[in-house]
Amino acid sequence: MRLPLIIFRHGQTEWNREGIHQGRLDSPLTTMGQQQAEGMTEILRPLVKDDVWQAYTSPTGRAKRTAELALGPLGFEAKMDDRLQEVHFGEWQGRTTAEIDEMSRVPKSADPFMWNFTSPEGETFEAMCARVQGFMDELTGPSIISTHGITSRVLRGLHLGLDENGMREMDGGQGCVYLLKDGLQQRFG
């Protein structure tokens, strides 16, 4: 039986707004991103009241700040875990999709999900799945996770037993929360 998880992506950042792929790089939350994080508090409040939850976050500034804003008012302090970082975009970090499409043989539009794992010197899908699964294998109780867009999809997909095709179809977004419990996923917000 899989442990219940609550997963959310960091709020909007300066680079999200500008269309720049961050990967392991970082940019600060925008005003909207801070509001998204604060808004998640009320989404989370009824979800976390019945169980004893542990909280984790990617060590990246945008995910840590989102965790502070969303979870702090509920009394949680998230522990940092490097395995919750975003996919490493290698040579593509800090570039826009248009810039990357000029450098790449495969445009993002061909397969927007798996494209994230094709950057030179970047992380492969298999490597990311291994690190995320390693994190989940060590969980000892219901957990709240503040992370990133691609990492969220991989976490949720692995938890639900999906392969890359199933993960490809998953939605994402900022300012929303996913509850994974009893083999099902529910989106709030």
Q: Which residues are catalytic?
A: 10, 86
47: its two tokens: 């979800």
Cβ atoms of residues 88 and 122 within 8 Å: yes
- C-alpha–C-alpha distance, residues 57 and 85, integer Å: 8
Closest among 56, 99, 59 to 79, alpha carbons compared:
56
Q: What single-letter DSSP state applies at residue 152? A: H
Closest among 6, 13, 3 to 40, alpha carbons compared:
6
Cβ atoms of residues 92 and 106 within 8 Å: no
- C-alpha–C-alpha distance, residues 34 and 37, integer Å: 5
Q: Which residues pair with 10 in a beta bridge?
A: none
